[in-house]
């Protein structure tokens, strides 16, 4: 097999400790260990030198990272408006938040064509190309248009709603047609695969979607968590808790994560279970994400207000109910916090997978594991039915789940955690990538072998 070429809009900075939060880069990085490969995408920068030439080239641990810039206009039309303002809400079942414009659609296609041209120049004949996420739906077709005939696979990290919803976006059919250029399309859950295949069928197109639930590297994460609890930051957190139980939430500041609903659930918990007041602390780490998009700014204002209201109502002069951070926290520190947390409260309204749930499980101490409270609507929920599953729209249910989790006996915690941990260990990021790439290799090819560039 030739080189593996990963293409995604967001590419991690391989040398920086503080990485931007996001499941795509975390999952893929864990999956890439050991192979010789190229990871191609956006540099994260805006400049006049869009697309060509490649502005960043770096090699770390056998992976070459090649990145291109976007112009300010492309950044706005392609990334902010079309990817984050149209596709993201639509695919998270939030049609009401979608603000469609034809001009952004044109910029989206233009940037995909530019990605294809820049990447084409770097390709070798037997390369296997794996494209990731909604920013790049049309990339496969754009590469085929440039004569790339080898294997091209696609993985969608976010959920797929039913066609009746997807079709509310003008041009949805064109996206599905472009996706026919991929030999195989991976999605996170069976429900997503059914919805996408049904959409293809409704449009007279071939069904190419299959479920490949993404995982993490549990072994590495456990080691990070074990080291993390011995760090200074964990020590400071522990001292500040003064024996109170820790409920932890970790998410990008995104409306798909159900943060206001979670805060209201915690508020209901304070109201309905006064015996826990002063005895628990809820730490929510939610680094600002996509801060230039209006809906994200609104969400931030809403959370500022809710935190103020709940703390104002329930705080004591020596106790604060909610600790709320919008700064990113380095992964190794976060891993220690997961291990210390008695409860992880993870309540997305919709989520492709939700890797935080898997990280929390991997981080636990087998002798005294914490409890995972998880939304039914996380892609991880079908695999993680030993979690305490909740409907994130029901504040009282969140309150009851928190009470249940905080009063659960050791035996039940261990029983639930052992099952969850078995699953997290079985479905790792490495297995996910291997399974997808094997299936890609075996899929009936759309194109013929690539001629020399
Ligand atoms: P999404 O991809 O929508 O952001 P996931 O839960 O699948 O959601 O992945 C998020 C990834 O980003 C996880 O690996 C998590 O550890 C990391 N992450 C999330 N929130 C933070 C945070 N506050 N600080 C640092 N890393 C974070
Ligand atoms: C999710 C998406 C990724 C994206 C990440 C962070 O995980 O599936 O494609 O990279 O969020 O979002 P950002 O807009 O900062 O890349």
Residue 187 inside a domain? The answer is yes
Nearest protein Cα to ligand 2, atom 3: 24
| Residues 231 and 364 grouped into a single domain | yes
Whichever domain contains 255, its CATH number is: 3.40.50.2000
What confidence score (pLDDT) does residue 30 get?
A: 67
Q: How many domains does the chain have?
A: 2
pLDDT at residue number 22: 76
Ligand that comes closest to the CA of residue 252: 1
* Same domain membership, residue 97 and residue 60: yes
Any atom of ligand 2 within 6 Å of the Cβ of 400: no
Domain that holds residue 89: 4-215+430-442
389 in the same domain as 271: yes
Q: Residue 52's pLDDT is what?
A: 66
Residue 18 and residue 165 in one domain? yes
Of 13, 69, 8, 6, nearest to 38 by C-alpha is 6
Same-domain pairing of 230 and 196: no
- Could you give the ipTM of this predicted complex? 0.98
Q: Is 288 domain-assigned?
A: yes
The ligand placed nearest to the CA atom of residue 224 is 1
356/353 Cα distance (integer angstroms): 9
Q: How far is the CA of 211 from the centre of ligand 1 (A)?
A: 21
Rounded to 5°, angle at Cα 352 from 193 and 167:
60
pLDDT score recorded for residue 63? 87
Residues 308-348 pLDDT 10s:
999 999 999 999 999 999 999 999 999 999 999 999 999 99
Within 13 Å of residue 403, how many CA atoms lie on the same side as its CB? 18
- Whether 451 is in a domain gets the answer no
> Could you tell me if residue 123 is inside a domain?
yes
What is the C-alpha to C-alpha distance for residues 34 and 96, in angstroms, rounded to an integer? Answer: 43
Within a domain: 174: yes
DSSP, collapsed to helix, strand or coil, labels residue 84 as helix
The answer as to whether 452 is a domain residue is no
Give the other-Cβ count within 10 Å of 73's Cβ.
12
Whether residues 209 and 245 fall in one domain: no
Nearest CA to ligand 1 atom 2: 23
Helical residues (DSSP H) of 341-394, grouped into ranges: 355-363
* Ligand with minimal distance to 91 CA: 2
Q: Could you tell which of 31, 134, 252 is best to mutate to test the pocket of ligand 1, judged by most ligand atoms within 8 Å of the CB?
A: 252
Residue nearest (by alpha carbon) to ligand 2 atom 11: 22
- Residue located nearest, by CA, to atom 16 of ligand 1: 356
pTM score, two decimals? 0.96
Task: Please check whether residues 149 and 261 belong to one and the same domain.
Answer: no
**Token representation of residue 328:** 């990113």
Distance CA(118)–CA(123), nearest Å, equals 9
Q: Give the closest residue (by CA) to ligand 2 atom 14.
A: 290
Q: Return the ligand 2 atom nearest residue 84 CA.
A: 14
Do 266 and 184 belong together in one domain?
Answer: no
Measured in Å, residue 384 CA sits from the centre of ligand 2 at 23
Q: Which ligand is nearest to the CA of 251?
A: 1
- Indicate the SS3 state at residue 184: strand
Contact assessment for residue 344 and residue 388, using Cβ atoms and an 8 Å cutoff: no
pLDDT of residue 453: 43
Q: Are residues 191 and 118 in the same domain?
A: yes
CA of 356 to the centre of ligand 2 (A): 14
Query: Residues with Cβ < 8 Å from 272, sequence gap 6 or more?
Result: 396, 399, 400, 403
Closest to 267 measured CA to CA, from 401, 396, 404, 405:
396
Q: Is the CB of 238 under 6 A from ligand 2?
A: no
Identify whether 60 is part of a domain.
Answer: yes
| Domain co-membership, 157 together with 129 | yes
According to the model, what pLDDT value does residue 27 have?
74
**Which residue, by CA, sits nearest to atom 6 of ligand 2?**
22
DSSP letters spanning 161-182: --HHHHTTSTTHHHHHHHHTTS
Between CA 211 and CA 230 the distance in angstroms is 38
CB atoms within 10 A of CB 249: 25
Instruction: Indicate whether residue 251 lines ligand 2 (CB < 6 A).
Output: no
Ligand 1, atom nearest to 21 Cα:
12
**Residues 149-196: tens digit of each pLDDT:** 999 999 999 999 999 999 999 999 999 999 999 999 999 999 999 999
In a domain, 453, yes or no: no
Q: What atom of ligand 2 comes closest to residue 135's alpha carbon?
A: 9
Q: Which two tokens stand for residue 103?
A: 């001009």
- Point out which residues pair with 67 in neighbouring strands: 41, 56
Residues 225 and 194 in one domain: no
46 SS3 class: strand
**Taking a C-beta distance cutoff of 8 angstroms, is the pair 206, 184 a contact?**
no
Q: Is ligand 2 within 6 A of the CB of residue 92?
A: no
328 CB within 6 A, ligand 2: no
353 lines ligand 1 (CB under 6 A): yes
29 shares its domain with 168 = yes
* Res 403: pLDDT: 98
Q: What are phi and psi of 107, to 5 degrees?
A: -65, -35
Flag residues of the chain having pLDDT under 50.
449-453
**CA of residue 202 to ligand 1 center, whole Å:** 35
């Amino acid at each position: 097999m030739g080189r593996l070429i990963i293409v995604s809009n967001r590419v991690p900075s391989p040398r920086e400790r503080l990485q931007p939060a996001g499941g795509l880069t975390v999952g893929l990085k864990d999956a890439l260990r050991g192979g010789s490969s190229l990871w191609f995408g956006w540099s994260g920068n805006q400049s006049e030198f869009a697309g060509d030439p490649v502005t960043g080239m770096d090699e770390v641990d056998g992976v070459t990272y090649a990145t291109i810039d976007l112009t300010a206009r492309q950044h706005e039309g392609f990334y902010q408006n079309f990817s984050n303002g149209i596709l993201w809400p639509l695919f998270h079942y939030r049609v009401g938040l979608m603000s469609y414009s034809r001009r952004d659609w044109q910029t989206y296609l233009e940037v995909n064509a530019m990605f294809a041209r820049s990447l084409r120049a770097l390709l070798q004949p037997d390369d296997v190309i794996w494209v990731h996420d909604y920013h790049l739906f049309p990339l496969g077709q754009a590469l085929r248009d440039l004569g790339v005939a080898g294997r091209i696979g696609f993985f969608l990290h976010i959920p797929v709603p039913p066609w009746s919803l997807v079709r509310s976006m003008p041009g949805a059919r064109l996206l599905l047609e472009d996706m026919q250029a991929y030999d195989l399309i991976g999605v996170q859950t069976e429900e997503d695969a059914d919805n996408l295949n049904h959409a293809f069928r409704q449009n007279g197109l071939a069904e190419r979607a299959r479920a490949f639930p993404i995982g993490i590297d549990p072994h590495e994460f456990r080691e990070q968590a074990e080291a993390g609890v011995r760090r200074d930051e964990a020590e400071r957190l522990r001292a500040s808790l003064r024996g109170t139980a820790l409920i932890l939430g970790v998410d990008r500041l995104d409306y798909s994560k159900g943060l206001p609903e979670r805060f209201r659930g915690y508020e209901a918990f304070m109201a309905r279970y006064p015996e826990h007041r002063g005895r628990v602390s809820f730490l929510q780490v939610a680094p600002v994400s996509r801060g230039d998009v209006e809906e994200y700014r609104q969400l931030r204002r809403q959370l500022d207000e809710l935190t103020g209201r709940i703390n104002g109502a329930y705080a004591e002069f020596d106790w604060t109910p909610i600790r709320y951070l919008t700064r990113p926290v380095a992964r190794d520190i976060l891993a220690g916090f997961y291990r210390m947390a008695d409860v992880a409260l993870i309540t997305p309204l919709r989520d492709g997978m939700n890797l935080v749930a898997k990280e929390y499980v991997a981080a636990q101490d087998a002798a005294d594991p914490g409890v995972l409270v998880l939304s039914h609507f996380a892609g991880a929920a079908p695999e993680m039915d030993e979690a305490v599953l909740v409907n994130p729209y029901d504040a009282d249910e969140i309150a009851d789940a928190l009470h249940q989790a905080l009063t659960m006996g050791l035996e039940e915690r261990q029983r639930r955690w052992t099952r969850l941990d078995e699953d997290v260990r079985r479905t790792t990021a490495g297995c996910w990538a291997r399974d997808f790439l094997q299936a890609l290799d075996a899929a009936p090819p759309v194109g013929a072998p690539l001629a020399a560039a």
